[in-house]
């Protein structure tokens, strides 16, 4: 077992003990000051509206590192997942630039989110081989049940004489949300609980879970009090919670905000069992108030320069506003969803098109009169999905719509945007019974008839639960035709003037 310096990590757990979150009154034993710095869900390397991006984030990390060194404290910099995708640049280099930039920042730990697998298993392995930081994924195994190369279940970071255990878990819904191939993702909560027990039994002074997980999972894990601290990603929330025993942080997205917890951990002596006390001081850094790090800014500009020349080309003018905000696309019919679905249907000469609202990612409002560029469309459709046409039964179309409406109480990316369909549904009905009527191009849907449908290869391969859209087609990584983004660019450029509006394609009773 190898012990490393304060800036490095140990690849297994040495020590154990119970911890309790109480303000340390006096140092009966060893004491350490630790700052946990969290980033998560960072896709955009450039700042936007004077906030976020890698150069501002790098400035925060380097300032905090200098502060903790001067104060004899310990900075632990953690990434809670989602960074290889989606972005415009990642559609070209499959996330290699993100690994390069984060290598410069000497991350102490990284947990894979679902978007780490958007380009498939082999690309993920390539990127993790290039990474010079520890990768934690206790719930991720090969199809044969083996730990993956360069992955650890938990690590120890030594702070003075104290041992801080870090347990990592990948998003346990990745098999549906992305393209991890045959990799196996075990449930987050049971994995963390089992690993926390091992860490404490071995003598950890503080146990921290780094998880890429939805809100419900994070809340359940916090209520379990199995760990002392939870560093979370996936929800794109700025979130700090503390109940006196367990704390949780999440840092919104794209380094717009960075959360930090300053903790003084005291190992209590003179007791039958070794234990520790601690208390967090939370800080939120708004990166709009941070001056960009010059070295990182130069690298960001280098990566961005080529894209500016290629994609800042106008293709059409908007006659009406377009709303691509996440909430709009995941809760009802949205004009930009109609537009993308229409483009796929046109490119495929299909009768029907269904896309997942989560595939549209710009999260912005375009005013009427906006001149759309190729970059705008690529920002909206960054995943590299391919257009796919196949034939499915009317029953499969209903099943797809039911799947799309199945989680409407907590909007998710599977919400459908459609073309060629008029659907009425009752969101108050039980999941699986919400679709009431479906019309296809003015005629009632025939459950027994086959329809030519356009979608994307992600959905047809089972992404977001839409495997029924493959019909009888065997879907493989080679399935599909052109990039969805390119089909949409061509459709918009041919129209030159876009007047997309909500048309009543999806009506809730």
Please determine, for residue 337, whether its predicted confidence score (pLDDT) is greater than 90.
yes
pLDDT band at 160 (very low <50, low <70, confident <90, very high): confident
For position 271, what pLDDT does the model report?
Answer: 52
What is the pTM assigned to this prediction? 0.78
pLDDT for 39 equals 98
CA distance 23 to 181: 47
Rounded to the nearest 10 degrees, how much is the dihedral formed by the CA atoms of 483, 487, 490, 492?
Answer: -120
Domains contained in the chain, CATH given: 18-302 (3.60.21.10), 312-508 (3.90.780.10)
Q: What is the pLDDT of residue 35?
A: 97
Q: Is a pLDDT exceeding 90 seen at residue 18?
A: no
Q: What is the per-residue pLDDT for 22?
A: 54
Q: What is the pLDDT of residue 492?
A: 98
Question: Is omega for the bond preceding 86 within 30 degrees of 0, making it cis?
Answer: yes
State the chain's mean pLDDT as an integer: 91
506-508: strand order across its sheet? 443-444, 435-440, 421-425, 506-508
Per-residue model confidence (pLDDT) at position 26: 44
CA angle, residues 232, 238, 242, in degrees to nearest 5: 65
Whether pLDDT at 107 is above 80: yes
3-state secondary structure (DSSP) of residue 197:
helix
Question: 5-14, 164-173, 287-296, 495-504: which range is least confident on average?
Answer: 5-14
Which region among 317-331, 351-365, 462-476 has the lowest average model confidence (pLDDT)?
462-476
Asked if the model's pLDDT at residue 176 lies above 90, the reply is no
pLDDT reading at 5 higher than 60:
no
pLDDT over threshold 50, residue 10: no
- The pLDDT, as a whole number, for residue 11 is 30
pLDDT digits (tens, 9 = 90+) for 108-126: 999 999 999 989 999 999 9
**Sheet (strand 314-318) strand order:** 371-373, 314-318, 497-498
| Helix and strand counts by DSSP (H, E) for the chain | 14, 29
Can you give the three-state secondary structure of 72-113, one letter per residue? CCEEEEEECCCCCCCCCCHHHHCCHHHHHHHHHCCCCEECCC
pLDDT, tens digit, 9 for 90 and up, residues 418-439 = 999 999 999 999 999 999 999 9
Helix (H) or strand (E) holding 347: helix 335-348
Q: Give the separation between CA 25 and CA 399, rounded to whole angstroms.
A: 60
414 vs 19, higher pLDDT: 414
Let me know: does 166 contact 227? Beta carbons within 8 Å: no
Average pLDDT over residues 83-98: 88
pLDDT for residue 179: 87
pLDDT tens sequence across 191-242: 999 999 999 998 899 999 999 999 999 999 999 999 999 999 999 999 999 9
Question: What's the whole-number mean pLDDT along residues 151-168?
Answer: 94
Q: What average pLDDT does the segment 66-87 reach? A: 94
Task: Confirm if 95 and 119 have CB atoms less than 8 A apart.
Answer: yes
Interval 117-138 mean pLDDT: 96
Question: pLDDT tens digits, residue range 274-290?
Answer: 578 899 999 999 999 99
Residue pair 304/45 in contact by the 8 Å Cβ criterion: yes
* pLDDT, position 275: 73
Q: Which long-range contacts (CB under 8 A, 24 or more apart) does 343-346 make?
A: 343/487, 343/488, 343/490, 343/491, 343/492, 344/387, 344/419, 344/454, 344/455, 344/456, 344/484, 344/487, 344/488, 345/419, 345/420, 345/454, 346/491
């Amino acid at each position: 077992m190898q012990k490393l310096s304060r800036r490095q990590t140990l690849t297994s757990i040495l020590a154990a003990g119970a911890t309790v979150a109480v303000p340390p009154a006096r140092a009966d034993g060893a004491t350490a000051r630790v700052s946990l710095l969290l980033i998560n869900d960072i896709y955009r390397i450039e700042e936007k509206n004077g906030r976020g991006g890698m150069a501002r984030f790098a400035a925060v990390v380097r300032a905090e590192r200098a502060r903790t060194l001067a104060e004899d404290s310990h900075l632990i910099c953690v990434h809670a997942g989602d960074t290889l995708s989606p972005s415009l640049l990642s559609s070209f280099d499959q996330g290699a630039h993100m690994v390069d930039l984060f290598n410069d920042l000497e991350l102490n730990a990284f947990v894979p989110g679902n978007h780490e697998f958007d380009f498939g298993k082999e690309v993920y392995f390539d990127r993790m081989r290039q990474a010079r930081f520890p990768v934690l994924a206790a719930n991720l195994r090969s199809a044969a049940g083996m730990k993956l190369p360069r992955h650890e279940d938990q690590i120890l970071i030594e702070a003075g004489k104290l041992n801080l255990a870090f347990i990592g878990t990948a998003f346990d819904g990745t098999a549906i949300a992305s393209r991890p191939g045959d990799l196996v993702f075990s449930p987050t909560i049971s994995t963390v609980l089992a690993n926390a027990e091992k860490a404490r039994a071995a003598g950890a002074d503080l146990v921290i879970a780094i998880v890429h997980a939805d809100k419900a999972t994070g809340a359940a894990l916090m209520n379990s009090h199995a760990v002392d601290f939870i560093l979370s990603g996936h929800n794109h929330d700025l979130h700090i919670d503390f109940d006196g025993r367990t704390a949780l942080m999440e840092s919104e997205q794209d380094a717009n905000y960075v959360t930090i917890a300053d903790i003084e951990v005291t190992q209590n002596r003179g007791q039958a069992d070794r234990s520790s006390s601690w208390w967090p001081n939370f800080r939120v850094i708004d990166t709009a108030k941070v001056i960009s790090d010059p070295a990182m800014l130069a690298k960001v500009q280098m990566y961005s320069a080529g894209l500016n020349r290629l994609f800042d080309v106008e293709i059409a003018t908007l006659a009406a506003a377009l709303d691509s905000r996440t909430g709009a696309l995941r809760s009802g019919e949205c004009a930009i969803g109609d537009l993308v679905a229409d483009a796929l249907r046109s490119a495929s000469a299909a009768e029907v098109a269904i896309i997942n609202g989560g595939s549209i990612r710009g999260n912005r409002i375009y005013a009427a009169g906006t001149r759309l560029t190729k970059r705008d469309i690529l920002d909206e459709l960054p995943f590299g999905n391919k257009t796919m046409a196949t034939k499915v039964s009317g029953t499969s179309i209903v099943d797809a719509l039911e799947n799309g409406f199945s989680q409407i109480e907590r909007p998710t990316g599977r919400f459908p945007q459609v073309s060629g369909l008029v659907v009425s549904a009752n969101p108050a009905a039980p999941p699986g019974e919400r679709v009431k009527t479906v019309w296809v191009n003015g005629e009632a849907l025939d459950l027994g008839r086959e329809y030519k449908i356009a979608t994307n290869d992600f959905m047809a391969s089972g992404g977001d639960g839409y495997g029924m859209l493959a019909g009888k087609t065997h879907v493989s990584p080679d399935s599909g035709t052109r990039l969805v983004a390119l089909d949409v660019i061509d459709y918009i450029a041919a129209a030159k003037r876009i007047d997309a509006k909500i048309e009543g394609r999806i009506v809730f009773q």
